[in-house]
Amino acid sequence: MTPVPAHLLAPQGPARSLVARLDPRTRVLAAALFAVVAVAAQGIMAQLAALGVAAGLCLLARLPMRTVLRRLLALEVFMALVLVTLPFTVPGQTLFTLGGLTASAEGMERALSVAAIASAVMLAVQALLASMETVALGHALARLGVPARLATLMLFTLRYVEVLHQEYGRLRLAMRARAFRPRTGWHTWRAYGWLVGMLLVNSVERSERIHAAMRLRGFRGHYPILDLGRAGGLDWGFGAVHTASLALVLAVGMM
Amino acid sequence: MAHIPDGVVTVPVLVAGAVASAGFLGLGLRALTPERMPRVAVLSAVFFVASLIHLPAGPASVHLILNGIMGAVLGWAAFPAILVALLLQAVLFGFGGLVVLGVNAMNMGVPAVLAGLVFRALWRRDRPRRTALLGAACGGGAVALTTVMLSLSLVASGREFLTVAQLVVLTAVPVMVVEAAFTAAALGLVARVKPEMLEEG
C-alpha cells in the first residue's frame, strides 16, 4: 500500500493565495458550478475554454506546477482505455488506418473532448477543494445543506483514515517480520484478507472505545457545525468573475 | 478501475445515477444511527484506502473494490459510507469526477447493499464453511454486479463505448477472483474473532 499522502493530514499550498482566502462555501459552490458547466459545455472549443478556466484557477490557488502535471498524467487505466478506443469506435471520416482498424476524425475529436472535460474538472477540484483542509470541507458541506449525518460521517472517516494507516503499518510490519512476501496465489490473497479482517476488528474495537468516551462527554451523534461567518467582498467578487467566465464558456459552445 | 471520470457518460445516465443514488442515500442515512457512526466511518475509511492496496495477480496487479465486504458488515449504511469515500477519493486522489459521483456511487453502492442483504439473510454463527462460501459469493458477486452496471452506464451513453465496456468486463475477471478469495478470508476472520460485528443492525 502506498502511504496516505501527507496533504490528507495538513493543508497544502501557500496559505496566502487568493483561493486560500476564500470562504470554504464559496470554494465548494464554485467547484460544483464549474463541474456542471464543464460537463454541459458543447463542442471542443467550449471544452478547451473550460480547461483554460481550470488552469486559471490553479494559478490563483498557486498550486505547485509539478504536482498538478503529475496528477494529470497519472491516467487511470479506465481513462486510457476510453482515449485509445474512441478514435476507432466513432464512425466518420477516415483519418488513418492501423492494422485493419480505421481511426476517424470524429473519434479523435471525441477522445480529445473527453480528455478535456475530465482534466478540466480534475484541475478545478485540485485548485478549489483539494487545497482546503478537509475538515473545513466537511463543515462547508454541512452549512450548504448536506445532511448533518453525512457531513459527520465524512469528518469521522477522515479521522479513521489516519487510525487505519497506523494500524496497517503495525500489522504489515508483523507480517514482514515473519518473512511474508506478496505473490500471485491463494496464500497471498488469504493473508491480505486476514490482514484487512484484523484491521477491521481492531479499528472497530478502537472506534467503539473512542465513541464510548465521546458519549460520556455528551456527544450526540453529530459535531457542532462551525459557524463560518458571512461571505465577504472577496467571495462575492470571486463568485462574480467565476460565474462570468463560465457563462463565457457556455457562450463559446453555442457559437 | 470502476471510477468513471467526468465527460464520459451522457446526461440521461447522469440523471439516472443521481436519482438512484439519492434514493439509496435516503434509506442508507436512516440506518446510519449515531451509535453506528464510528463503525460506518471505519469501513468508509477502509473503502477509501482500498484503492491504494495493490494485490499481485499474474503479471499485473489489481486493486480491490471491497463493496461486498462493506455490504456484509454495514447493510444499508454501506451506501452513505461508499458515497463519502468516493467524494474523498475524487477530491484527494483525483479518482472519478464530481458530476458523475451519483453514477459511480450507484454502480458501487447498490451491489454492496444487495450483497449485504444476501449475506445477512443466510449467514449463521459458528459455521466457518458457510461463512467462507458466502463471503466469496458476496465479494465476487458485488464486483461482478458493479462491472455489469458500469458497462451498462457506458453502453447507455453511446455505441462507441461498447469496446471499452467489453474490455472493462475482461479486466474485471481477475479482480473478481481475487476479491472473492480476499472477502472469504476477511469475513472468516471477523466471524471467528468478533461475530457480533456481522449480526447487529
Give per-residue pLDDT as tens, B154-165: 999 988 889 888
- CB of B175 within 8 A of CB of B143? yes
What residues in A contact B155, CB-CB < 8 Å? none
- Residues A137 and A154 grouped into a single domain: no
Tell me, yes or no, whether A115 and A239 share the same domain: yes
What CA–CA distance (Å, rounded) separates A65 from A244? 26
Does A79 lie in the same domain as A137? yes
A241 within domain boundaries: yes
pLDDT in tens, B172-185: 888 899 899 989 99
In a domain, A83, yes or no: yes
Q: Which domain holds residue A108?
A: 13-141+228-254
Identify whether A2 is part of a domain: no
Number of domains within chain A: 2
Query: What amino acid occupies position A64?
Result: P
Q: Averaged over B36-63, what is the pLDDT?
A: 80
CB-CB neighbors (< 8 A) of A208 in chain B: 38-39
The 10s digit of each residue's pLDDT in A39-94 is 998 889 999 999 999 999 999 988 888 888 887 776 667 788 888 888 888 888 88
A101 and A178 share a domain? no
Q: What is the mean pLDDT of residues A189-208?
A: 85
Check CB contact under 8 Å for A204 and B88. Answer: no
A243 with A137, same domain? yes
Whether residue A199 is found in the same domain as residue A128: no
Instruction: In whole angstroms, give the CA distance from residue A44 to residue A50.
Output: 10
Pick the residue of A4, A39, A162 with the most B CBs within 10 A to test the interface with B by mutation: A39
Q: Write down the ipTM of this complex.
A: 0.90
Is residue A96 in some structural domain? yes
Q: Which of A157, A189, A201 is nearest residue B190 as measured by Cβ atoms?
A: A201
Indicate the average pLDDT of chain B: 89
Residue B110 has a pLDDT of: 96
Domains and CATH numbers, chain B: 11-198 (1.10.1760.20)
Do B99 and A157 count as a contact with CB atoms less than 8 A apart?
Answer: no
CA distance B7 to A189: 35
| B41–A157 C-beta distance less than 8 A | yes
CA distance B143 to B146: 5
Q: Is residue A105 a part of any domain in this protein?
A: yes
Do A130 and A152 lie in one domain? The reply is no
pLDDT value, residue B200 = 67
Question: Quick check: is A181 in a domain?
Answer: yes
Looking at residue A125, its pLDDT comes to: 92
Question: Per-residue pLDDT for A226 more than 60?
Answer: yes
Residue A25 and residue A86 in one domain = yes
Residue B80 pLDDT > 70: yes
- Got the DSSP string for B59-77? TEEEE---HHHHHHHHGGG
* pLDDT at res. A75: 65
Q: Looking at the structure, do residues A80 and A179 belong to the same domain, yes or no?
A: no
